[in-house]
Each structure stands twice: as C-alpha cells, then as structure tokens.
Amino acid sequence: MTTEIDKTTTARLLACFIRHADDRGSIDQKNEKFFEELGKLFSNGTLLDQHLYGLNEAGFIYYEEVGEDGFAPYIGAGCTKRTATHLAELLEEIESELACLRRRISEILTFDPDRLKTEISGAEIQLSAARKSAEKNDLLKPLLGHISEIEKHFRAVSSVAAKYDDVYKSIIRPVQLEGESGVKATVRWAIISVVVSTAISVALGNWKEFVELFNWFF
C-alpha cells in the first residue's frame, strides 16, 4: 500500500532541493547538510526514496542512484524547470486549505445554538400547520407524501441538533470563552475539526435544505 505524503512535507523537500542547488540546479552528492535535511523530513528511508523517485518521474526534481552492490552509489540530485513551479502550486494549495480551515473554525466559534433551537421549534410549528392544512383540504392532500418525507429528514436533523448541546457546552463554549488567539493546544483544534466534519456538518448541511425548501428563515 502506498503511503500518501502530505503537501507540507513535499513542499519542504522541494525547498530543500532549491536551497542547496547551485546555479545550474545541481546538488553535490557530498553535500551533507542537504541529506541531513532530507533525513529529518522522513524517519523512514524507504519512504523517502519512494517519494524522491516519484517526484523524479513526475519531472518535479532530478534524482537517481547508480551503483553496484557493496559500493557506495553515485547520487545525482538537482532541480528541474518545474521544481519552483510545483513548490508554488503546493504553497497555494496549502494556503487555500488553511483559509478553509480558518473559516470552519470561525463558523464553529461563532455559531449560536440558541438560534438553532429557536429555528427548529419554529420549523416544527410550520410543519405541523402544513400537515393539518393538507389533511383538511383535498386539493392539498397530494402534498402529504412530500410533507412526510420532509418530516423524516427533519427528525434526523433535530436528533443531531439535540446532541449538539453537549458538544457545545463541553468543547465549543470553553473555546469561545478562551478566544481563538488563546487556544494553543493542537489537540483542541483536532477535536473541533472532528466535530465540524461529523455531527455539526450533518446538522447544518440538512438545515440549509430546509431553509431553501420553506424560505422561512435567514
């Protein structure tokens, strides 16, 4: 199974190549600092070799090892015309992902659970009224099937929203009180990321569908 290398590590590897290359883009195989830096990026030498050869095949760097068993191999390494370009592309992707993560964190830190409860309560009243109207009016009875389907999805959203209270009180609210700038523990951000990508994303994702269907809120 191939292990995927994260973009940050690849960017650091490319930067290492650029930093140690001479004017022609070549890297001296006796350049110990270059190989020390590569070794710090990868604790697994086999994984490092695989990634180097992969980048070589893609044309992002030049790298090869030539030699016979029992002899130290000749190592050819250097930059290509695509090294700097690929590094710039990776940095743009990393920046975009960070911006997306900041937006997700901002959304979770500014989310108002009381507003969600109010909107859910209002939606329940509206759904109940819509069902009663359809049951009493023959012209509206064909809509009962659609109303039942909406109620089915709405119950799922309501269930997740109910559990959200515990998540909010135990994780999100303490972070809000402390403030984004004061949160330094990586594990706390990891927890928030998990929360955002599971229960909350499900709740809010379905909630937007209800908003579009009824156009009652926002």
- Is the pTM higher than 0.75? The answer reads no
Q: What's the domain count of the chain?
A: 2
Tell me the CATH number at 46.
Answer: 1.10.10.10
Q: Does residue 208 contact residue 214 with C-beta atoms inside 8 Å?
A: no
Provide the 8-state DSSP code for 130. Answer: H
Q: What is the pLDDT of residues 52-92, one digit of tens each?
A: 999 999 999 999 988 766 677 788 999 999 999 999 999 99
d(C-alpha 153, C-alpha 94), whole Å: 36
Where is mean pLDDT largest: 44-48, 115-119, 146-150, 161-165? Answer: 44-48
Is the same domain home to 66 and 129?
A: no
Which of 91, 126, 155 delimits the end of a domain?
A: 91
Residue 80 structural domain: 7-91
- 117 shares a domain with 61: no
Report pLDDT for 45: 84
Contact 51, 6 (CB under 8 A): no
Query: How far is Cα 215 from Cα 209, in angstroms, rounded to an integer?
Result: 10
Do the domain assignments include residue 105? no
Q: Does a structural domain hold residue 97?
A: no
CA 110 to chain centre: 19
Domain-terminating residue out of 91, 126, 147: 91
Instruction: Assess whether 83 and 115 both reside in one domain.
Output: no
Question: Do residues 210 and 116 share a domain?
Answer: yes
Averaged pLDDT, 175-201? 50
56 lies in the same domain as 142? no
Span 31-41, pLDDT tens digits: 999 999 998 98
Domain membership flag for residue 102: no
Q: What are the tens digits of pLDDT across the range 140-179?
A: 788 888 878 877 777 777 776 666 666 666 666 666 666 5
Tens of pLDDT, residue by residue over 92-113, are 999 998 888 888 777 766 766 6
Nearest-CA neighbor of 126 among 204, 202, 206, 217?
Answer: 217
Listing DSSP states for 15-76 in one string gives HHHHHH--TTSEE-TT-HHHHHHHHHH-S-HHHHHHHHHHHHHHTSEEEEEE--TTSPPEEE
Residue with tokens 């951000």, as numbered in its chain: 189
For 95-100, which contacts have Cβ atoms below 8 Å and span 24 or more sequence positions? Answer: 97/7
Whether 78 and 133 share a structural domain = no
